[in-house]
């Protein structure tokens, strides 16, 4: 809610801390996510903040952007000539973005009941991943050039039309089960959670980005608590070879499509799956992986995401922070979906499983499957 001064007016920088006192000095403010809880509150928050600070003083943190592997997606796409020509609807069949967590809500019942998976992870971290994967090449690596392109992607996400939420989305909630050899209670039995809660701890989405690059290419996103393991990855699945030369017992018919996987965490790296000939006199084809692993290629540890971001803020570089319009754009989609979901029941999944069966149906209807990372 909007803070008010004793006189009833909006609080507006009365302490004077936001003012620059000399040409060399600076004042910046870092705001942690969630930035609001829907479009309206995000707009309200933006206007309160902007009444006191200039946008260039405002650093909205999304710690996923501080992860080395997320920045590496930018490096991978835009420092190589190889990928951009095939990074589009002509060559890519679909994209899967997974942010799976084995942990539950970790004693954050009060917060999580209000937030749910959509607000907690999807609207922020996962949409940032989506934007980095789908954006057009910025003309420079300067903050606004990068953020302009990310905003364009968020604006191009097709909204979930009224009455179609079940076709494009699944919300789930875990019931009791086993995760990593440990028995865990159902979400509704967690401390500070309502026994009749309908808050989602799992989300699966099928999205379309309506622009020239991506028209018709589905992006499948999923996130959940108490899934079998912690893994965040972006998988780009390419279309199959147009004509299969190798069939009739060569293994070519079952050959998997080429998949490029950017592993955000853990086991950070990038792998490319392709068909190779099995050694021997016959033409047998099998899928193999070409791997780049951070751990073995660079013999030093990555900085923590927050270390990097706090340093950038002190240096005055907002490239890896969320701009006001970016936050509002992401909320626009999320708010509409949350409204659509209001009356919908939440699908159950056993803690330790890969989400509800409805999420499998969502992707299998299209003749595709979720990866088992
Ligand atoms: C936070 C969410 O922003 O990100 C948590 O509030 C979530 O619910 C966490 O667990 C995930 O971050 P990471 O860096 O562990 O993937």
At 73-126, the pLDDT tens digits run: 999 999 999 999 999 999 999 999 999 999 999 999 999 999 999 999 999 999
Read off the pLDDT of each residue in 291-295 and give the average, rounded to a whole number. 93
Q: What is the mean pLDDT of the chain?
A: 93
> Is residue 301 very low, low, confident or very high in pLDDT (cuts 50, 70, 90)?
confident
- Which atom of ligand 1 is found nearest the CA of 67? 14
Q: What is the pLDDT of residues 152-174, one digit of tens each?
A: 999 999 999 999 999 999 999 99
Higher per-residue pLDDT: 130 or 23: 130
Interval between CA 286 and ligand 1 midpoint (Å): 37
* Residues forming a β-bridge with 286: 276
* Residues forming a β-bridge with 178: 183
Q: Which of 64, 125, 126, 127 to mutate to test the pocket of ligand 1 (most atoms within 8 A of CB)?
A: 125
Percent with pLDDT over 90 in the chain: 84
In the set 63, 94, 125, 223, the catalytic residue is 125
Interval between CA 120 and ligand 1 midpoint (Å): 8
Q: Is the pLDDT of residue 5 over 60?
A: no
Among protein residues, the one with the nearest Cα to ligand 1's atom 11 is 121
- Which atom of ligand 1 is found nearest the CA of 64? 14
> Is residue 11 very low, low, confident or very high in pLDDT (cuts 50, 70, 90)?
low
Read off the pLDDT of each residue in 329-351 and give the average, rounded to a whole number. 96
What is the predicted pLDDT for the residue at 140?
Answer: 96
Interval between CA 25 and ligand 1 midpoint (Å): 33
What is the predicted pLDDT for the residue at 137?
Answer: 97
Whole-model pTM over 0.85: yes
What is the predicted pLDDT for the residue at 4?
Answer: 55
> Is residue 252 very low, low, confident or very high in pLDDT (cuts 50, 70, 90)?
low
| Residue 125 is a catalytic residue | yes
């Amino acid at each position: 809610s909007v803070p008010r001064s004793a006189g009833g007016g909006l609080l507006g920088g009365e302490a004077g801390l936001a003012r620059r006192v000399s040409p060399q000095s600076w004042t910046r403010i870092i705001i942690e996510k969630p930035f609001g809880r829907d479009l309206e509150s995000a707009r309200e928050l933006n206007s309160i903040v902007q009444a006191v600070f200039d946008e260039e003083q405002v650093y909205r943190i999304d710690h996923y952007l501080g992860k080395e592997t997320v920045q590496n997606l930018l490096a991978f796409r835009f420092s190589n000539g190889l990928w951009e020509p095939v990074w589009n609807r002509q060559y890519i069949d679909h994209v899967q973005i997974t942010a799976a967590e084995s942990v539950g809500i970790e004693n954050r019942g009060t917060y999580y009941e209000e937030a749910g998976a959509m607000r907690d992870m999807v609207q922020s971290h996962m949409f940032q991943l989506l934007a980095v994967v789908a954006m057009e090449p910025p003309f420079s690596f300067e903050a606004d050039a990068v953020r302009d392109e990310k905003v364009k992607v968020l604006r191009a996400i097709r909204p979930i039309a009224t009455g179609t939420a079940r076709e494009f989305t699944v919300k789930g909630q875990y019931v009791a089960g086993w995760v990593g050899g440990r028995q865990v209670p159902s979400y509704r039995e967690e401390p500070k959670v309502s026994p009749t809660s309908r808050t989602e701890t799992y989300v699966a989405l099928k999205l379309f980005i309506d622009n020239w690059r991506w028209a018709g290419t589905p992006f499948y996103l999923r996130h959940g608590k108490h899934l079998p393991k912690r893994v965040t990855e972006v998988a780009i699945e390419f279309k199959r070879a147009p004509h299969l030369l190798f069939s009739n017992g060569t293994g070519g018919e079952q050959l998997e499509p080429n998949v490029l996987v950017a592993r955000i965490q853990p086991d950070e790296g990038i792998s490319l799956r392709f068909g190779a000939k099995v050694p021997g006199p016959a033409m047998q084809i099998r899928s193999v992986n070409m791997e780049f692993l951070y751990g073995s290629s660079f013999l030093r540890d990555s900085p923590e995401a927050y270390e990097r971001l706090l340093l950038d803020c002190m240096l005055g570089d907002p490239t890896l922070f969320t701009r006001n319009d970016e936050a509002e754009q992401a909320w626009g989609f999320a708010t509409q979906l949350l409204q659509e979901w209001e009356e919908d029941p939440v699908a159950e999944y056993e803690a330790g499983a890969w989400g509800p069966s409805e999420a499998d149906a969502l992707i299998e209807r299209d003749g595709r499957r979720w990866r088992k990372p």
